[in-house]
Amino acid sequence: MIHKLFIANRGEIALRVIRTARAMGIETVLGASEADAASLPAQLADHVQIVGPGPSSQSYLAIDGVVDAMVKSGCDAVHPGYGFLSENAAFARAVQAAGVRFVGPDIKTLEGMGDKLAARALAVEAGLPVLPGGEAATRADVHARAAQTGYPLLLKAVAGGGGKGMRRVDRAEDLDSALDMAQAEAQAAFGNAAVYVERFVARGRHVEVQLLGDGTQAIHLGTRDCSIQRRFQKLVEEAPAPAMPPEAREGIEQAAVRLARHIGYRGAGTAEFLVDAEDFSFYFLELNARIQVEHPVTEAITGVDLVEQQLLVAMGKPLSLTQAIVRPHGHAIEVRINAEDPDADFRPSPGRAVRAAWPAGEGIRVDTHIGIGGEVPPFYDSLMGKLIVHGDTREQAVTRLSDALRSLHIEGLPTTASLHRRIVADPRFIAGGVDTGFLAGLAQ
């Protein structure tokens, strides 16, 4: 059993883990930065250990400081949440060296999936389709790969995620400047400037599959669509992926399970695919070896607590679920409420929420760490909370989302709520099945 759990994260995901751990009778210790010492997660955890000052490089990303706080608190397991050190193999290795369980995949999987090119190679081994492109170690290699792949194309950070170190290139004459920007961003975000080339699909949809594995067996919990994005970062997620032929959905699900079984995956993970909206052909992109921001939509349609499943697998228990007993019901949609100004190119807007009235009611779930007077520090991601709705049908879920957004009121700083109100009223969104170019054509 896990008796005392260290949570190496902050914000709404820290609260989410605390909620499930408490229900399982597990004592919690929050590893918080000085900037988060008075946060809602810090108030609700059983104990708090300060891991460093506000900047994430000195706190949530500082492996030695996090491990030291974890050891001092006497914890027997650590949950890394998402982002920060959640997919960092060096962190997982340091945790295990300290005699503590890491709630997540084994180190070999973290290393294989953390390098996008290595993940691509493993996917090919498992028989999954991938986009044309590949490794580009030098500037000359990038130009050679680009000539082979053709334009438009994407430059992608090998150690990337969250849209960082990613640039679309439409013309050969733009390649060098885009490469400089992608490498600089990748170096700053991941400490690794390496990039690779991948063909760009003009009408692509971002569809992913939730996976659970125990190292021996693996199952899927259905699809999610995350195609509404800004700068390759997700804004809206829904489950299951709408407007997809059953055979296309089943093909993606089976491909994801095949990969999970091929690598002996343990815990919760997400296989991400690019789907061509024209013919529903699909291509493997990456496997995120952690819980996802958008996991609540899968929980809503399946009734499965994914954090509980992570903790049970970390305790060495085999999966209690089988594919046959996972029966998704209805439709769920999540919108991310960020402290950003959508009318100013999504400029981050840290500050204090002088009013925070979140919606409630049937089919509505809110995951947030921000209440009245809640602070959005300047050091971290701008996510304030997630509004999740569930209905028997997608039409009912869209109606509930529209109603919930009307009753959401946050004052004191700009948020993306105004953008989501425009999205949910757009006929293309209402119809379902939009591609990644949706936001560019959204009416102001």
Is 290 assigned a catalytic role? yes
- Catalytic residue, chosen from 224, 290, 336, 400, is 290
Give yes or no for a cis peptide into 240 (omega within 30° of 0).
Answer: yes
Q: Which one, of 201, 247, 252, lies nearest residue 224 by Cα?
A: 252
Distance CA 1, CA 21 (A): 12
How far is 190 from 215, CA to CA, in rounded Å? Answer: 28
Amino acid at 319: L
DSSP string of 147-205, one letter each residue: HHH-SSEEEEETT--TTTTEEEE-SGGGHHHHHHHHHHHHHHHHS---EEEEEPPTTEE
Give me the DSSP letters along 306-373.
HHHHHHHHHTTPPPS--GGG----SEEEEEEEESEEGGGTTEE--EE-SEEE---STTEEEEES--TT
Do 119 and 49 form a contact (C-beta atoms < 8 A)?
no
Please give the positions annotated as active site. Answer: 290
